[in-house]
Structure 1
């Protein structure tokens, strides 16, 4: 996945030793990576991308579940989230290929857009299979990392662990409390380019958290900054004042996908959709030299943030 992971757990009443638990955690992460990597040609996802259109492709249970999350978020976000955006991600230089020597032309973008659309994928969750109507390139990176957090969390729970904190590349899930009885304290990073700064600290219990932003992965060409978040509706990097989005949900895979969708939608449309879906979302919007916070009622309720 090209990132780090960090897991803490309470071993109260646990029979397994640290080495055994650590080995199990790594195996769960490697399983997701081996199935859904766009960098590994032998991964299940890579093989699907190389498969022929209109032919059913058998999926593993984990990949089926990730496609199912992606499809739901795509529908509810009006296409702002789209795993078939892979060709555009690659074209703009944020995929497994190198950065392009020049910004894509309008013609190249139009051609790639004609080969993008979550509705060209037909998923049969019961039979764990999928097919595509056109030769699309699927990139699951905006949901797989969060899903990997969920897989590790479920593994820890299967061992009887009642208190844990799992983090994979900034996506987090907690359960219970720390051994001293206090809640897990999770930082929300301030979206400042070039430095690490804490914006808020949340006390989470039995909750997942995912954050998406445009302040880490970008490049500049001709004095213009290009974000890694591509709007699948326009085929271009996003260009609005929203700097980052934090989504709270028991499912980190779900929160991960929605965080990306909200970054595409922007603060106004994203806030409207989040409230309609009764979601817990915090938007950090560029405001002069700083940022203003825009939190949904659901976020305020979960975190104890003042109503006004």
Structure 2
């Protein structure tokens, strides 16, 4: 009996060993990272996949898409679709691509909603203040020149129809910089999802889209930068979940004259750089393009007005203000669930 029992145990062990060896191996989840330059800044794509990914082919597809966005919307490329429209002075409709139409449509929606705090027709003012393709300046423009330039600005002078774009003012010029990076992020995220990649982080110059988690189940965490000009430091750590994130700040791109700092963020309503104490605004939204546009608009507004707007429209917003002793935060109700300890 003892021998039979031993034999049975040995046979059972042998059978189990065969079953284990024949079972398919658990797929190994690989981490991938793609890096490059676009839109005058950098891009980073991080993702995890249990399937083999041809990262070179994927990166080529991503860069082709980002190059297309530049060819359509860059103000630094004279032959971009946007710059050709800006030079178009005839009283006729200018045909535009589906991509440009999408971005302009959202820009005009946010402009109307924010009563012009976001206005992509500020192109002439951007150039006047030295923050455009023509290069920097060291002296603030004369008030008369600002007023004259501002007369040609106004989102109500830009019309979008089924045929294309139309300008009611011949010298009107559009600058999609406040929203185009976010659009680029959304386009890259769409490419990843077309390849069945559902755990990713996409960033273009600080604007992001996140989805899924890491292989150990931990969520993506991101750092919101402290608005300092002298060093890199963290203001907040966020756990955003599946969402787009955009931050607008005035603390890196500016010039000074006689002790006065002139930000690259212009208030379209005054024609001048913003003069409030807001130094950065972070917005969370399913669309990074939309988050990008709102972040700029809320940075232009007075802080109390920005938070009131966020509450009214249920936007997740973190606003950082400069004080005499450092920085203070204002958050909307919809933002609070994203804060970590």
Q: Does the 8 Å contact 2:239/2:340 carry over to 1?
A: no
Cα distance in 2 between the residues matched to 1:115 and 1:92: 15
SS of residue paired to 1:195: coil
**Segment drifting more, 127-136 vs 208-217:** 127-136
Q: Does the 8 Å contact 2:138/2:256 carry over to 1?
A: no
Cα distance in 2 between the residues matched to 1:189 and 1:53: 44
Structure 1's 252 and 85: CA in aligned 2 closer, same or farther, altered over 3 A?
A: same
Cα distance in 2 between the residues matched to 1:190 and 1:101: 27
Structure-1-length-normalised TM-score: 0.95
Cα distance in 2 between the residues matched to 1:167 and 1:128: 33
Cα distance in 2 between the residues matched to 1:53 and 1:141: 24
Following superposition, the deviation at residue 34 of structure 1 comes to 1.0
Q: Does the 8 Å contact 1:61/1:128 carry over to 2?
A: no
Following superposition, the deviation at residue 137 of structure 1 comes to 1.1
Name the structure 1 match of 2:26. none
Q: Does the 8 Å contact 1:10/1:179 carry over to 2?
A: yes
RMSD (CA atoms):
1.3
SS of residue paired to 1:200: strand
Name the structure 1 match of 2:167. 132
Name the structure 2 match of 1:112. 149
Following superposition, the deviation at residue 97 of structure 1 comes to 1.1
Name the structure 1 match of 2:41. 3
Q: Does the 8 Å contact 2:224/2:234 carry over to 1?
A: yes
SS of residue paired to 2:334: helix
SS of residue paired to 2:141: coil
Q: Does the 8 Å contact 2:117/2:297 carry over to 1?
A: yes
Cα distance in 2 between the residues matched to 1:179 and 1:17: 19
Greater RCO, 1 or 2 (C-alpha within 8 Å, sep 6+): 1
Mark the structure with the bigger radius of gyration: 2
Cα distance in 2 between the residues matched to 1:204 and 1:246: 12
1:86 has 2:120 as partner: no
Instruction: Spell out the pairing of 1:33-48 with structure 2 (5 A cutoff).
Output: 33-48=70-85
Name the structure 2 match of 1:56. 93
Name the structure 2 match of 1:166. 202
Matched length: 302
Cα distance in 2 between the residues matched to 1:6 and 1:304: 24
The ranges of structure 1 where at least 4 consecutive aligned residues each deviate by more than 6 angstroms after the TM superposition are: none
Cα distance in 1 between the residues matched to 2:91 and 2:61: 37
Cα distance in 2 between the residues matched to 1:244 and 1:214: 7
Q: Does the 8 Å contact 2:239/2:339 carry over to 1?
A: no
**Structure 1: which 5+ residue stretches go unaligned?**
none
Name the structure 1 match of 2:296. 260
**Segment drifting more, 285-294 vs 189-198:** 285-294
Give CA deviations for 1:141-185 in whole Å, capped at 9, x if unaligned. 010001000000001001110110000000010011122221111
Give CA deviations for 1:50-73 in whole Å, capped at 9, x if unaligned. 112421111111111000110011
Cα distance in 1 between the residues matched to 2:102 and 2:203: 20
SS of residue paired to 1:184: coil
Name the structure 1 match of 2:160. 123
Name the structure 2 match of 1:150. 186
Name the structure 1 match of 2:107. 70
**Structure 2: which 5+ residue stretches go unaligned?**
1-38
SS of residue paired to 2:166: strand
1:225 has 2:282 as partner: no
Following superposition, the deviation at residue 131 of structure 1 comes to 0.5
Give CA deviations for 1:195-220 in whole Å, capped at 9, x if unaligned. 11001111122111000011010111
Cα distance in 2 between the residues matched to 1:109 and 1:42: 27
1:245 has 2:281 as partner: yes
Following superposition, the deviation at residue 187 of structure 1 comes to 0.6
